[in-house]
Amino acid sequence: MLKLAVVAHKDDNVATTVKDLSKGENVLVDIFGTEKNIMLKEDIPFGHKFAIKDIKKGEEIFKYGEEIGQATQDIKEGEYVHVHNVVSERGRGDLEVDAK
């Protein structure tokens, strides 16, 4: 079976799609030996990410087992994870300006 999405590390809370996937689609992801069936709550374009577990606002997004940013709102399993609900924590000159 062709892969639909990839989980890069066992500690990750997101998967990356390798096909355009649609809302309502059931995706089987292999989380390092543990298979999990996830129902997509939104369309996820090729190469983009969805949550493989519930993520609370303020929690870290993990990919490659590393922090890639922070959730700006609660994200449910199967929801799209991208710039609309994740912020970077690096190179934030804007925050330095706000702090002054």
Partner 1 sequence: MKLEGYRREDGKVGIRNHLLIIPASVCASEVAKAISERVNGAVYIPNQHGCCQIGPDLELTTKVLVNFGKNPNVGAALVVGLGCEGVPTKKVSEEIAKTGKMVDYVVIQENKGTVNTIAVGVKKAREMAEKLSLMKKEEIDISEITIGIECGGSDTTSGLASNPAVGYVSDKLVDLNGTSIFSETTEFIGAEHILAKRARNEEVAQKIMKIVLDCEKKANTMGVDLRSGQPTPGNIEGGLTTIEEKSLGCIYKGGTRTIEDVLAYGDMPSGKGLYIMDTPGQDIESITGMLAGGAVLIIFTTGRGTPTGSAIAPVIKVCGNPESYERMKDNIDVNAGTIIDGTKTISDVGEEIYSQMLEVINGKFTKAESLNHREFGIYKMISTF
Q: By the criterion CB under 8 A, which residues form the site for partner 1?
A: 2-3, 6, 8, 16-18, 45-49, 61, 63-64, 66-69, 81-83, 86-94, 96-97
Q: What is the largest CA-CA distance in the chain?
A: 54
| Residue closer to partner 1 (CB basis): 16 or 74 | 16
For partner 1, the closer CB: 56 or 90: 90
Min dist CB 50 to partner 1, Å, is: 11
User: How far is it, in rounded angstroms, from Cα 99 to Cα 12?
Assistant: 31
**Which CB sits closer to partner 1, 38 or 86?**
86
**Whether 100 contacts 84, CB under 8 Å:** no
Helix (H) / strand (E) element for 99: namely helix 93-99
Name the minimum Å distance from CB 41 to partner 1: 17
Closest contact distance (angstroms) between CB of 91 and partner 1 is 3
Handedness of CA 45, 21, 30, 41 (dihedral sign): positive
